[in-house]
Amino acid sequence: MNWPAILIALAGLLMAALGSIHLLYTLRGQRLDPVDHTLIAAMRRTPMHITRETDMWRAWLGFNASHSLGVIGFGTMLAGLAVSDAQLFSDHPLLAIWALAMVAGYLWIARVCWFSVPRRGLLTALCLLAAGLLALLLR
């Protein structure tokens, strides 16, 4: 495996790791719970306008879990493509643009809505991905 592939794969693995940690925190422990526990109780009592089949707390857990699975899937796919045939990113520029846009999009969300740990991780993933793609182009 060559350096561009390694850099792109590392970006993908970092994304998958961030998604995995997020899923673990969603399903175990209280790290993603509101500090004010009365809010959890209020969320459990509050249905959504779209349906009464769920409440805001279960929706919150579902949104976080599905978000985690999306990040894990994206990162795994990115790493898998890099390992199997990194040249795909050069041969199909839209694939490279899509990958950069996804990581940049997550970074923008992290900047606006989240906190420093995922922001730093996503910035690192974006730099690894950009360096790998640039190295592919400069071959």
pLDDT tens by residue, the chain, 139 residues: 799 999 999 999 999 999 999 999 999 988 989 999 999 999 999 999 999 999 999 999 999 999 999 999 999 999 999 999 999 999 999 999 999 999 999 999 999 999 999 999 999 999 999 999 999 999 8
Q: Which amino acid is at 135?
A: A
Distances (CA, A) of 69 to 20, 56, 72, 100: 8, 20, 5, 19
Q: Which amino acid is at 39?
A: L
Q: For residue 29, what pLDDT is reported?
A: 83
Q: For residue 19, what pLDDT is reported?
A: 97
Among candidates 14, 3, 1, which has minimal Cα distance to 78? Answer: 14
Among candidates 103, 110, 92, which has minimal Cα distance to 10? Answer: 103
